Amino acid sequence: MIAPKLCLQRILKKLFVAVLTNNLLVLAGEEVSVGGKKDMSIALGNGHVLSIHANKPIEDQRKDTKKYEAELQEISQDLEKEDIDQNIDVTHYAKNIWVIQKIKEAKGISILAHPNWVYRDGKYHLHQAFYKEMLKTSQLDGVEVFGEEKVKEHNNMTHLTALQTTNKYKYLAPFANSDAHDSDHEVGDRFTIVFVKEKSASSIIAAIKSGLTCAIFKRENYEHQFIGKDALAQYVYFLIKEYYPKHSSLKSRLAKLYFDELINGEQFERKIQIVKQRLESHSNNFWG
């Protein structure tokens, strides 16, 4: 009989090997509720911003209340000097800018989450005047254009707004996310392809800043939807039609072999190597 602790260690070891073998790259992320925890239950016009690959948590920096309030006041005073929409309450809007600035200070990427989320009583969680102002004047790097459909986020409208501002303001990298805070989400139905020169955190960050992403919405019984620069969207369409079906099938087979090893305690090294070789051959046929 194997002790539970040893059994867990073996499972963790195998999972670790599986992650390494599949060459996964994981970047730290944090979804920041701009107005604090109260915004999760009472819509105050502030949104959520994703912090990707920052070197420190953003939420923790609000714990020094005195410093936080002083920084908000300074941002508010600067905003009052700018030519911004008169419908904007600078006191609340400053909280959004504070979050984005803190992400930048922490060397992270800031992505605006679900800007068209209809939250309570038919109202938007994020004040739409805030959203449009952030598209124009903030330091955002990306915006979520496809999000979880269960709560009717209506993120397709994001693309329309972004199109209207593209020629005047900064192009923001489009993203599609599952927003999976729990298992009751459509994981995999929305995803983002990032075009990078190499699989590294620095390369991914550079690509996002350059707008080299394509957001994809996998619609059941319909063609996929794509949002991104035209050339990238066309290329992604080609990949999804020609490359990913076989690639995904082989990856699923590989994952099943690893899982079978964990469950059955057997070795399937020969089968694993065969699948890996087929994966490599498939990739070489496309990329050389």
CATH number of the domain bearing residue 214? 3.20.20
In a domain, 187, yes or no: yes
Contacts for 7-13: CB closer than 8 Å, 24+ residues apart:
11/262
Q: What are phi and psi of 93, to 5 degrees?
A: -60, -35
> For residue 185, what are the contacts with CB-CB under 8 A and spacing of at least 6?
148, 150, 178, 179
Tell me if 138 is assigned to some domain.
yes
Report the range out of 23-37, 64-78, 107-121, 252-266 with the highest average pLDDT: 64-78
User: Would residue 42 count as lying in a domain?
Assistant: yes
Please report the DSSP string for the chain in residue order.
Answer: ---HHHHHHHHHHHHHHHHHHTT-----EEEEETT-GGGGTS--B--EEEEES-SS-SGGGGSSHHHHHHHHHHHHHHHHTS---TT--HHHHHHHHHHHHHHHHTT-EEEEE-TT-EEETTEESB-HHHHHHHHHHS---EEEEE--TTTT--THHHHHHHHHHHTTSPPPEEEE----SSSSS-TTSEEEEE--SSSSHHHHHHHHHTT-EEEEE--TTSPPEEEE-HHHHHHHHHIIIIIHHHHHHHHHHHHHHHHHHHHH----HHHHHHHHHHHHHHHHHHH-
pLDDT at position 168 is 65
The answer as to whether 13 is a domain residue is no
pLDDT (average), residues 186-195: 83
Contact (Cβ atoms closer than 8 angstroms) between residue 64 and residue 102: no
Q: Per-residue pLDDT tens for 11-32?
A: 555 555 555 455 678 899 999 9
| pLDDT at position 41 | 46
CA gap 76, 68 in Å, rounded = 12
Residue 153 domain-assigned? yes
Rounded-to-integer distance, Cα 208 and Cα 190, Å: 17
Q: Which of 11-25, 69-83, 161-175, 239-253 has the lowest mean pLDDT?
A: 11-25
Give a yes or no: residue 263 inside a domain: no
| Residue-range definition of the domain harbouring residue 223 | 27-228
CA–CA separation, 204 and 250 (whole Å): 25
- Going by pLDDT thresholds of 50, 70 and 90, the confidence category of residue 158 is low
For the entire predicted model, the pTM comes to 0.80
> Has residue 126 got a pLDDT over 70?
yes
Total count of domains within the chain: 1
Q: How far apart are CA 215 and CA 190, in angstroms?
A: 8
- Does 7 have pLDDT greater than 80? no
For residue 115, being part of any structural domain is answered with: yes
Residue 165: pLDDT above 70?
no
Phi, then psi, of 63 in degrees rounded to 5: -65, -30
Percent of the chain with pLDDT over 90: 32
Domain membership of residue 154 (yes or no) is yes
Confidence of residue 3 (pLDDT cuts 50, 70, 90): very low
Burial (0-12, 13-18, 19+ Cβ within 10 Å), 231: exposed
Report the mean per-residue pLDDT for the chain. 81
